[in-house]
Chain A
Amino acid sequence: MINQFFAYILQGTSVTVAVTLVALPLGLILGLLFALIYNYGGFWVSRFAAVYSLVMRGVPPIALLFILYFLLSGQMVNLSPFWAGSISLGIISSAYQMEILRGALQAVGEGQMIAARAIGMTRLQAIRYIIIPQAIRLAIPPWSNEASIVLKDSSLVYAIGVPEILRRAQQLSATTQQPFLAFGAAALIYFVLVFLVNRGLDLLAEKTKLPASMA
């Protein structure tokens, strides 16, 4: 019976992984866009990016989820609970990823931009070929942290009817009155997922690491 229960909770993993696989890249694309706008855009667009970040980091994910799913979805586009959930999480994550990337872009330094412009690169070429490749390297460690957070926050989609790991654990806890077993199983699965993500990104960081200064 315990095996069966564990299998039931485990089935939620695909939802958790799928939500994360949508939310995280979406957050990365939006976050990078806003970070670039913030760092290199004009006064007003840069203000806009700052306000976006402030608002999205202030909104509880569940509130955005409800607004998107219950209020907006169905008016213009019809979003399934899965997509509404993944997109809301992606939007919230984009604000945090923006902050990570913003810092990383700044850390690359003004000199790299000047040197790139000096050989005739356009601003966009400089950002794409010189600034971003260096910023991404700097961003991997904090980004790994954000990936774990999104992975765990993905459980929120249960609120609109997507049965992921945590919701399944709740159901079994209610049925069996064995919360430690049910939530323990959920925690174990999350731990494995987070471990894999962090390990993977560590490897990536190791692989893309630039040689240290000979000092």
Chain B
Amino acid sequence: MTDSPYILQAKNLTKIYGENVIFKDISLDVKKGETIVIIGPSGTGKSTLLRCLNLLTPVNSGQIFLEGEEITAHGVDHDQVRQKIGMVFQNFLLFNHLTALGNVMIGLTKVKKMPTEKAKQKALHELERVGLADRAHHYPAQLSGGQQQRVAIARALAMDPLVMLFDEPTSALDPELIGEVLGVMEQLAHEHMTMLVVTHEMGFAREVADRIIFMEKGRIVEQGSPEELFEHPQHARTREFLGKISELYGKKEKK
């Protein structure tokens, strides 16, 4: 590809739903291997931003570049682009009629047209990566929430994405199941997977993130290393938010 230092780049993205400005003028550079955590109050457009980045939702203006190539340009095949950007959803969204193995395989066989046997090997490998090889033949309904989310991660990983987007991956989970999912994500970060994570898990953010972005009301208020943000926040709003969130999630963070 091109020699852009960034895997993913967003320039001046704006998203408007009717009268509502979801976010405005957002610019973002994601380097290869970087783990970025986006935090901020609910309803500030973090999830919509992720959906816009992999073209599930169109932006009203602005440009997005993947490996230096503009994917918001006219005539770009969105389906091709999405293969290269993995996405993990808050409510897992596993395919209910397929086993864990089937969920991971289907993108390989149908989208990448990989031969079944090869796809199966790869899918099993991905399930192993998330520690679920022994659940390969279970259907989503037979798996716990944490297991489902790990299968969803394996499903996205199987496509060998350049970057992974996580949209509040642990918000729908019972507290005791959150750890196993965060564990998998932490491991991915160590393997230098490029990741963009929207979450309220401050412990994860502090330990794993290379950079933290604080978003509010559709704008990036502040960004920096965990240390900068947690220890020396520049803006009053950031301080306020971090204060509230640690009150809410404080107990969990200690673990």
Contacts and interface: CB of A to CB of B under 8 A. Distances in A.
A118 interface: yes
B87 interface: yes
Given A111-B91, A129-B106, A118 B139 contact: no
Contacts, number: 74
B78 to A, nearest CB: 8
Interface in A161-186: none
A121 interface: yes
Given A120-B159, A211-B139, A115 B93 contact: yes
A112 B141 contact: no
B82 to A, nearest CB: 4
Interface in A129-152: 129-130, 133-134, 137
Contacts of A213: 141-142
Nearest to B87: A118
B56 interface: yes
B155 interface: yes
A160 to B, nearest CB: 42
Nearest to A120: B83
Contact of A119 (B82, B91, B96): B82
Question: Most chain-A CB neighbours within 10 Å: which of B80, B87, B89, B110?
Answer: B110
Given A111-B89, A214-B141, A121 B97 contact: no
B95 A130 contact: yes
B99 to A, nearest CB: 10
Q: Interface extent on A, as a size class? A: 20 to 34
Contacts of B111: 119-121, 125
B94 interface: yes
B89 A210 contact: no
B58 interface: no
B91 to A, nearest CB: 7
Given A211-B142, A213-B141, A137 B97 contact: yes
A121 B107 contact: yes
A114 B156 CA distance: 13
Interface string B206-239: 0000000000000000000000000000000000
Interface string B44-83: 0000000000101000000000000000000000011111
A193 interface: no
Given A111-B89, A119-B107, A210 B79 contact: no
Contacts of A114: 56, 89, 93
A128 B21 CA distance: 35
B110 A129 contact: yes
Interface of A: 111-112, 114-122, 125, 129-130, 133-134, 137, 210-214
Interface of B: 54, 56, 79-84, 86-87, 89, 91, 93-97, 106-107, 110-111, 139, 141-144, 152, 155-156, 159
